[in-house]
Amino acid sequence: MIQRQGIHTVEHTYPCDVCNRTFKQLRHLKVHQHVHTEEHPYRCDVCNKTFRNKSNLKVHHRVHTGERPYHCEVCNKAFRDTSNLRVHQRVHTGECPYRCAVCNETFRRLEYFKVHQRVHTGELPYHCDVCNRTFKLLRHLKVHQLVHTEESPYRCDVCNKAFSYANSLKVHQRVHSGEHPYCCNVCNKTFSNKSNLKVHQRVHTGERPYRCEVCNKAFRDTSSLKLHQRVHTGERPYRCEMCNKTFRRLEYFKVHQRVHTN
């Protein structure tokens, strides 16, 4: 609220008495206070989901109506709200405003940036209540939990292997089809999945974002780091049933087995 007193303009702000954040309008302060009270006074009449403010409820309603009023001027893709449209537009502009201070990798979305930071911090906030295993992403926890339920509804029609998720089956089927849809733009090497391409590209960039806490040696991927850590822990998980010799790496174990088979 702004009041004029003679030639002077006095701007009034409304402070939150919990976190001291200030607002120019009283109604904005009232909406903000729901953050602290966890009050969700606005309810969807279709699915009963509740929201802190009316505008979020309005956007949510579009899930049920299918309305997508905001269109990208470049590719005409439609969105339910302006924030998702703005994030999408970075696909065309190349803008990646979130930069990791550790490895300089950049991200289009804040949530992807926050997840990436866990690579360096080691944070694993999602916890399995059955076996206590922890995960970096909620979706990884959900996939893991199927191990305990033994639910694997997606089955390969070639080899009968079962998967918990449709996308996992889709990636697996490339083993049989030979499809490699992901291509390195430097050396044209192709890969069956995007994550393998991303790791491969570090051969060209020299990036080694995974570092051993004991000796500081750096690696391109987490699997190589885990193998290396066995040097320090002494772990040798592969044991020969014939002679009890143990190995740190599966490939060394398989080579050794030929001694007995030959």
Q: Note the pLDDT of residue 11.
A: 63
Can you give the pLDDT at residue 8?
Answer: 54
What pLDDT sits at residue 76? 93
Residue whose pair of structure tokens reads 């402070």 in the numeric block? 15
Q: What is the pLDDT of residues 48-71, one digit of tens each?
A: 988 888 888 899 999 999 999 999
Per-10-residue mean pLDDT, the chain, length 262: 51 80 83 76 89 87 92 93 91 91 89 88 88 86 78 85 83 90 93 90 92 90 90 90 90 89 75
- According to the model, what pLDDT value does residue 166 have? 81
pLDDT at 9 (0 to 100):
52
Can you give the C-alpha Rg of the chain in angstroms? 26
**Amino acid 13: pLDDT:** 82
pLDDT at 130: 87
Fold topology of 210-261: Double Stranded RNA Binding Domain (3.30.160)
Instruction: Locate 155 and state its tokens.
Output: 């089955």
- Give the pLDDT score at 32: 77
**Beta strands of the chain (E only): which ranges?**
2-5, 8-11, 14-15, 22-23, 42-43, 50-51, 70-71, 78-79, 98-99, 106-107, 126-127, 134-135, 154-155, 162-163, 182-183, 190-191, 210-211, 218-219, 238-239, 246-247
pLDDT at position 7 is: 52
Buried b (16+ CB within 10 A) or exposed e, 84-96: bbeebbeeeeeee
Give residue 17's pLDDT.
84
For residue 97, what are its two tokens? 């405003």
Most distant CA atoms of the chain, gap in Å: 101
The whole-model pTM stands at 0.46
